């Protein structure tokens, strides 16, 4: 069965569950909402549904019910490589089924056919000022391709609501394979003397990305690991939620993903991996050749906090323990770059920062998140232009959020519209007399 046929079967099985919940249990209470949640960025308000991933505060992420190690273990691997095909992972996120090698290779071939970047996108990128942030270029490149949307075409022709997911899937299948090509073009144009490397028809999503970026093995595995780890973190994070929100207006995949990427570009979200590296470099500069010690790391962390800044790569809105995505990357580092000095400093921060943050007393989670560990791997393999790191995150995140918006249309989730209150109304709820 093809991906689309499998998905159709899954969707038809799933629809009655959503319909039943709505019809028979629509007025059942999920939770009470507090003033703290209303003012505090909707933190913890249970108002989104996704079956693609679930984030437990203590265990961390599960993709379609599987932990990170289980996910890496179960999926078909690229021959001679340690990590699975991104294409197989995409099938898994979309359908909830672990694909066979044959099914995986079907997606690999489909993606190859669709990965070329239109010339007008190249022209747009080239027209942007050279100091434009790579995330701005990435988002603009995605948005520029909106004219290709089949969802818009079919919508304008008039289609039934139950069919919405089909052209959404088609848009997703056209857009996702172009993202590594778009990213590699931006990278080579900005940082590698504008010399570009043509795609290799024999390579998969991760392998071809490494090739077009100009990085030798095992960077292909780094890319596969990175994209899978960053793909999804349930629906409430800024990039996933934004993509879902924009798509809820029946905006197509291009509009929605571009918007999600703009949210990812913020320093409290995806840009944190760039901030971690920049913090590390400033710290090393301050050391002026001295060997880093726990005392010096502690002092630098306090200097950051006392300057009113956050420690990048630490804390999380949902997680209350070390992010398993951090641990998966740490394991990669222990296997591949155990003696690398920057990795050693990162480990020192890992030993010291939770204590400092606990003593500081503000953050609810003093443990590292995914971003604390990802930059060092890129740096080690020669990708030192940290402005680019969030683009890597963006390619990965697209796999999850594009799967989610396909399901959003399949299950006919409505336009999103939470209700707001005035401060005076909240004061009234609280019983405050003016």
Q: Which residues here bind ligand AMX, judged by CB under 6 A?
A: 237, 268-270, 272, 305, 310-317, 362-365, 369-371
Q: What is the spatial distance between Cα 73 and Cα 84, in angstroms, rounded to a whole number? A: 8
- Give the nearer residue to ligand AMX in terms of CB position, either 141 or 375: 375
- Give the nearer residue to ligand AMX in terms of CB position, either 21 or 268: 268
Least distance between ligand AMX and beta carbon 81 (Å): 26
Scan for tokens 């905006």, then name that residue: 251
Least distance between ligand AMX and beta carbon 268 (Å): 4
HSE-up (13 A, CA, CB side) for residue 355: 10
Least distance between ligand AMX and beta carbon 220 (Å): 24
- Give the nearer residue to ligand AMX in terms of CB position, either 115 or 330: 330
Write the DSSP assignment of 317-374 as a string of letters.
Answer: SS--S--HHHHHHHHHHHHH-TT-HHHHHHHHHHHHHHHHHHHHT--S--SB-THHHH
- Give the nearer residue to ligand AMX in terms of CB position, either 105 or 327: 327
CB 107 within 8 A of CB 91: yes
Least distance between ligand AMX and beta carbon 330 (Å): 16
Name the active-site residue from 204, 232, 252, 371.
371
- Give the nearer residue to ligand AMX in terms of CB position, either 250 or 305: 305
Q: What is the gyration radius of the CA atoms in the chain, in angstroms?
A: 22
Note if 269 is an active site residue.
yes
Note if 316 is an active site residue.
yes
Strand ranges inside 29-119, DSSP E: 53-56, 60-63
Least distance between ligand AMX and beta carbon 362 (Å): 3
Least distance between ligand AMX and beta carbon 315 (Å): 2
- Give the nearer residue to ligand AMX in terms of CB position, either 25 or 58: 58
CB 187 within 8 A of CB 389: no
**CA geometry: angle 381, 386, 389, nearest 5 deg:** 85
CB 94 within 8 A of CB 3: yes
Strand ranges inside 57-210, DSSP E: 60-63
- Give the nearer residue to ligand AMX in terms of CB position, either 212 or 262: 262
Name the active-site residue from 232, 316, 323, 408.
316
228 has which bridge partners? Answer: none
DSSP 8-state symbol, 84: B
Q: What is the spatial distance between Cα 177 and Cα 117, in angstroms, rounded to a whole number? A: 9
Name the active-site residue from 230, 244, 269, 323.
269
Least distance between ligand AMX and beta carbon 386 (Å): 14
Question: Cα torsion at 141, 220, 56, 36 (round to 10°)?
Answer: -30
How many other CB atoms are found less than 10 A from the CB of residue 148? 17
Burial status of residue 160 (CB atoms within 10 A of its CB: 0-12, 13-18, 19 or more)? exposed
CB 372 within 8 A of CB 326: yes
Note if 14 is an active site residue.
no
Q: What is the spatial distance between Cα 174 and Cα 256, in angstroms, rounded to a whole number? A: 14
Scan for tokens 């139950």, then name that residue: 162
> Minimal CB distance to ligand AMX: which residue?
315
Would you name the residues annotated as active-site residues?
269, 316, 371
């Amino acid at each position: 069965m093809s991906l689309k046929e499998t998905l159709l079967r899954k969707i038809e099985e799933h629809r009655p569950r959503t319909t039943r919940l709505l019809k028979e249990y629509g007025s059942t209470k999920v939770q009470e909402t507090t003033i703290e949640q209303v003012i505090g960025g909707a933190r913890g308000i249970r108002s989104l549904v996704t079956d693609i991933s679930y984030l437990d505060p203590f265990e961390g992420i599960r993709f379609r019910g599987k932990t990170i190690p289980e996910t890496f273990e179960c999926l078909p691997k690229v021959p001679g490589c340690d990590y699975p095909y991104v294409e197989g992972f995409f099938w898994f996120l979309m359908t909830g089924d672990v694909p066979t090698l044959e099914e995986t290779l079907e997606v690999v071939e489909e993606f190859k056919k669709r990965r070329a970047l239109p010339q007008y996108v190249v022209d747009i990128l080239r027209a942007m000022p050279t100091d434009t942030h790579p995330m701005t270029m990435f988002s603009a490149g995605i948005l520029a391709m909106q004219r290709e949307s089949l969802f818009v075409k079919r919508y304008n022709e008039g289609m039934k609501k139950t069919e919405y997911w089909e052209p959404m899937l088609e848009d997703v299948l056209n857009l996702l394979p172009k993202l590594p090509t778009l990213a590699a073009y931006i990278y080579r144009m900005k940082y590698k003397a504008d010399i570009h490397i043509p795609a290799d028809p024999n390579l998969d999503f991760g392998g071809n990305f490494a090739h077009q970026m100009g990085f030798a093995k095992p960077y292909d595995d780094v890319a596969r690991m990175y994209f899978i780890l960053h793909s999804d973190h349930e629906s409430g994070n800024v990039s996933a939620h934004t993509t879902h929100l924009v798509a809820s207006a029946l905006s197509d995949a291009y509009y929605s993903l571009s918007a999600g990427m703009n949210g990812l570009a913020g320093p409290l979200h995806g840009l944190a991996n760039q901030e971690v590296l920049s913090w590390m470099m400033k710290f090393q500069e301050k050391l002026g050749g001295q060997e880093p010690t726990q005392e010096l790391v502690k002092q630098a962390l306090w200097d950051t906090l006392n300057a009113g800044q956050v420690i990048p790569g630490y804390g999380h809105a949902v997680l209350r323990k070390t992010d398993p995505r951090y641990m998966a990357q740490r394991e990669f580092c222990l296997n591949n770059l155990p003696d690398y000095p920057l990795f050693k400093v990162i480990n020192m921060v890992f030993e010291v920062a939770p204590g400092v943050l606990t003593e500081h007393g503000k953050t609810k989670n003093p443990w590292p998140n995914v971003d604390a560990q990802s930059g060092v791997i890129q740096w080690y393999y020669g990708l030192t232009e940290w402005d680019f790191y969030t683009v890597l995150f963006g390619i990965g995140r697209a796999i999850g959020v594009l799967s989610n918006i396909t399901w959003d249309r399949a299950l006919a989730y409505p336009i999103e519209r939470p209700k707001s209150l005035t401060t005076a109304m909240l004061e009234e709820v609280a019983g405050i007399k003016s």
